[in-house]
Chain A
Amino acid sequence: PAETRDGAQARARSPPAPVTDVAKLCVCDLLVAQCDVNCCCDPDCSADDFSLFTTCSVPVVTGDSHLCSQKAAVYSLDVEANPPERIFKLIDQVNPSIFCIHATNYKQALYLKSPEMPTPENFDQLLKKFGSSSFSAEPDSWNLGTDAQNPPDANETYRYEYGVPVQTEDAFLRLPSPVVSSWCSDANPAGFLVNQATKCIRSVSVEKCDSIQALSMLFYINSSILASVFQVNITVQSIVVQSLNGMRDLLNDSDVLRLPMVLDELCINVVLGVNYHITYTDTGEIIEAAAAFVLGAISKEALSIEQSFEISFTQENTKPVPLSGNPGYVVGLPLRAGFRPQGYPFPAGFHSNKHNQLTLLQSTSTQDCLAAQGARAPVLFGYNMISGCKLRITAAMKCQPLAQTLLDVLKGQSFPEYVASFGNSQAQDVLDWVPITHLHISEQRVSNPLQSSCQIPVSLGIEVKWTKYGSLVNPQARIVNVTATITTTTLRQLPSGRERIIPVTSSVVFTDISSPAEPGYKAWPTINIKLPFDFFYPFV
């Protein structure tokens, strides 16, 4: 009925009345209907509970000490009695100061003011009184025009600082990235000097693929970056076309803009990846911007595709060489490797292969060794890896070419000869590079030694031994030894028509061979007493 509802509302509106009776106030009574330990004022405690207490955590409960005379509840434990019992005394505490409060005529004098309960009637007035810009319904600062900031003066060069979003003529340079879920959000601005790589999923449909903006090249290069006096256009650096089965082809002419179009139930020229390269000067001005695209095709069944985006900043006139540690290797960074050119000991240094890295066979979804050529993964320091593929041997296969093919599959096109011992080893410092030792283990089969032995490599194991180097508090990782072990097995002749599948594996293992640290102590300070030469002046 209406009365109870109003009553309940009225009760809900006013806060509960404060407890002012000193005898009933108990700050340590935290457990409802249970006795709190060492809480002498707890009404839930019985005499038996009091006999177990050691002290009273709240010895005195008083009101405001400014009052001239006030009631005080004093709790204490009488430990002499057996069993100990609690003593409760209600005394009048007198404040001897002449400035004690004799009386007050102001109700809230010694209490905190209860805040006003908002009701529909006083809500607007309270909002005006207490609500600042954070609570107002129409804040002044939310002008829609503030996104278009004042364009910089023509004479003033536009300098960027680290982390500042790269501005274009309408908004910011966008790097779509996953927000909350894996779906692409186009509102992520690229920060200056912040190298980012993101991957996100975009929903597509083949019928409407030419109308979805984010799938066309134009979306990513049509805005020009605001930088220095003029605007920097984003040029197309290269276009790689990826076919449906994953093969990538670099196109010769990257000037032609390729827009998505529907062709035979496929949509081609769909942007699968963009790689921005921004060049800047040492004063923070952007002078060049280029984008490398990966275009692909989507089939009718595809409902979503994964796009990957990357942005990297390079200072002009420099060619950055990524180090794998400074000086010790950092876990997760690739091992640096290279070759020694002919003609050592001339101080020619090392050549590194195309990516300066030691690589390992990368397992593919097809698991066929002969079709897996090309896919390799870099060996990362500290990460033990194992990968493999399956080799189908038929009777028609010849031994020698097969062995050579497998060796290529295991080792890759250019297997390096040397590995850098420190993450920042320079190519000129020949002593900083560790040669790769090669071992050969052959699994001999006991059966029939008369058969022509044909050894084919079936496993490559790289063992990298590293040690901790340097100070005890900041040890650096240093590679001491790299051993590549090839295990070969005998290939038996198969009767024609039969085929066999053998597994081929490659692995890399990192072993820590640090010797225990030896503490070094500073030398004891010596007392150096030397008398000045004229100490005994008058006598010498």
Chain B
Amino acid sequence: NNSSQLSSLPLQILFYVNGIYYIFYFLATLAMIIYKSQVFSYPDDFLAPDLAVLFLMAILEVPRLYLGVKGNLTEAEAPLGLSLGLTVGSVVLCLYLLLWQTYVLWADVVLNALLLSAYGLESGLKVTAIAAFVG
């Protein structure tokens, strides 16, 4: 019965894809940071912020996805709104890794751009879902 179901299927699919893609993204970015520290001159006081941002983003991703899934499935707007807020934080961290990292490789640009587009699409679908739940 389509009319009684307010949960967004595309959003749910996107959450799963995001989760899988994020695991790949995290491992790839970590591996590239290790590669950069070996090949280029990467002093410790430049390496620390980059790693901190990456791990912070990983820590944020877990509650973000959980809250999003929970909100979408229970059709509750509060968790979904919270997830949206966390998404904003993740977007900022992703922008940092895209623009203000010490060394931005072409692979970094590709990965971060994909992640940003996923976040953007997710945010749009979340807003629609919240609007559907509220209204």
Task: State whether the Cβ of A502 lies closer than 8 Å to any Cβ in chain B.
Answer: no
Looking at the complex, which one of B99, B102, B106 makes contact with A100 (CB distance below 8 Å)? B106
A102 & B40 in contact (Cβ 8 Å cutoff):
no
B103 & A104 in contact (Cβ 8 Å cutoff):
yes
B106 & A68 in contact (Cβ 8 Å cutoff):
yes
CA distance A389 to B42 in the complex (A): 86
A109 & B107 in contact (Cβ 8 Å cutoff):
no
Task: State whether the Cβ of B100 lies closer than 8 Å to any Cβ in chain A.
Answer: yes
Task: State whether the Cβ of B104 lies closer than 8 Å to any Cβ in chain A.
Answer: yes
Task: State whether the Cβ of B17 lies closer than 8 Å to any Cβ in chain A.
Answer: no
Q: Is the interface of B mostly helix, strand, loop or mixed?
A: helix
A101 & B105 in contact (Cβ 8 Å cutoff):
yes
Task: State whether the Cβ of A346 lies closer than 8 Å to any Cβ in chain B.
Answer: no
B109 & A102 in contact (Cβ 8 Å cutoff):
yes
Chain B nearest CB, measured from A309 CB (Å): 60
Q: Kindly list chain A residues whose C-beta atoms are within 8 Å of the C-beta of B110.
A: 98
Task: State whether the Cβ of B32 lies closer than 8 Å to any Cβ in chain A.
Answer: yes
- Total interface residues on B, CB under 8 Å, equals 18
Task: State whether the Cβ of B41 lies closer than 8 Å to any Cβ in chain A.
Answer: yes
CA distance A106 to B104 in the complex (A): 10
Looking at the complex, which one of A99, A105, A109 makes contact with B105 (CB distance below 8 Å)? A99
A102 & B104 in contact (Cβ 8 Å cutoff):
yes
Q: Kindly list chain A residues whose C-beta atoms are within 8 Å of the C-beta of B29.
A: none
Chain B nearest CB, measured from A96 CB (Å): 9
Task: State whether the Cβ of A103 lies closer than 8 Å to any Cβ in chain B.
Answer: yes
A109 & B106 in contact (Cβ 8 Å cutoff):
no
Task: State whether the Cβ of B108 lies closer than 8 Å to any Cβ in chain A.
Answer: yes
Q: Kindly list chain B residues whose C-beta atoms are within 8 Å of the C-beta of A110.
A: 40
User: Do A99 and B35 form a contact, CB below 8 Å, given A108-B41, A109-B40?
Assistant: yes
A103 & B35 in contact (Cβ 8 Å cutoff):
no
Q: Kindly list chain A residues whose C-beta atoms are within 8 Å of the C-beta of B108.
A: 102
Task: State whether the Cβ of B101 lies closer than 8 Å to any Cβ in chain A.
Answer: yes
CA distance A66 to B40 in the complex (A): 10
A105 & B100 in contact (Cβ 8 Å cutoff):
yes
CA distance A68 to B46 in the complex (A): 21
Q: Kindly list chain A residues whose C-beta atoms are within 8 Å of the C-beta of B106.
A: 68, 97-102
Closest to B40 in A: A109
Find residues 82-134 in chain B having any chain A CB closer than 8 Å to their own CB.
99-110
CA distance A66 to B108 in the complex (A): 14
Q: Kindly list chain B residues whose C-beta atoms are within 8 Å of the C-beta of A102.
A: 104-106, 108-109
User: Do A99 and B104 form a contact, CB below 8 Å, given A106-B46, A108-B41, A109-B41?
Assistant: no
CA distance A66 to B38 in the complex (A): 14
User: Do A99 and B46 form a contact, CB below 8 Å, given A106-B103, A109-B40?
Assistant: no
Chain B nearest CB, measured from A129 CB (Å): 15
CA distance A110 to B107 in the complex (A): 19
B102 & A106 in contact (Cβ 8 Å cutoff):
yes
Q: Kindly list chain B residues whose C-beta atoms are within 8 Å of the C-beta of A106.
A: 46, 102-103
Counting chain B CB atoms within 10 Å of each CB, the highest count among A99, A100, A110, A113 belongs to A99
CA distance A102 to B100 in the complex (A): 12
B38-55 near A? 1/0 per residue, CB < 8 Å:
011100001000000000
Chain B nearest CB, measured from A112 CB (Å): 9
Closest to A96 in B: B106
CA distance A99 to B38 in the complex (A): 13
Looking at the complex, which one of A66, A104, A108, A113 makes contact with B104 (CB distance below 8 Å)? A104
Closest to A99 in B: B105
CA distance A502 to B102 in the complex (A): 99
A87-98 near B? 1/0 per residue, CB < 8 Å:
000000000011
Chain B nearest CB, measured from A467 CB (Å): 70
B105 & A98 in contact (Cβ 8 Å cutoff):
yes
Chain A nearest CB, measured from B119 CB (Å): 20
Closest to B46 in A: A106
Chain A nearest CB, measured from B46 CB (Å): 6
CA distance A100 to B40 in the complex (A): 12
A100 & B105 in contact (Cβ 8 Å cutoff):
yes
CA distance A105 to B100 in the complex (A): 6
A101 & B103 in contact (Cβ 8 Å cutoff):
yes
Closest to A68 in B: B106
Q: Kindly list chain B residues whose C-beta atoms are within 8 Å of the C-beta of A108.
A: 41
CA distance A102 to B35 in the complex (A): 15
Chain A nearest CB, measured from B25 CB (Å): 15
Can you spell out 17 A-B residue pairs with CB atoms less than 8 angstroms apart?
A66-B40, A68-B106, A97-B106, A98-B106, A99-B32, A99-B107, A101-B104, A101-B105, A101-B106, A102-B105, A103-B104, A104-B104, A105-B104, A106-B46, A109-B41, A109-B103, A110-B40
Which 10 pairs between the two chains have the least Cβ-Cβ distance? A103-B104, A98-B107, A102-B104, A106-B102, A102-B106, A98-B106, A100-B106, A99-B105, A102-B109, A104-B103
Mark A residues whose CB is within 8 Å of B: 66, 68, 97-106, 108-110, 113
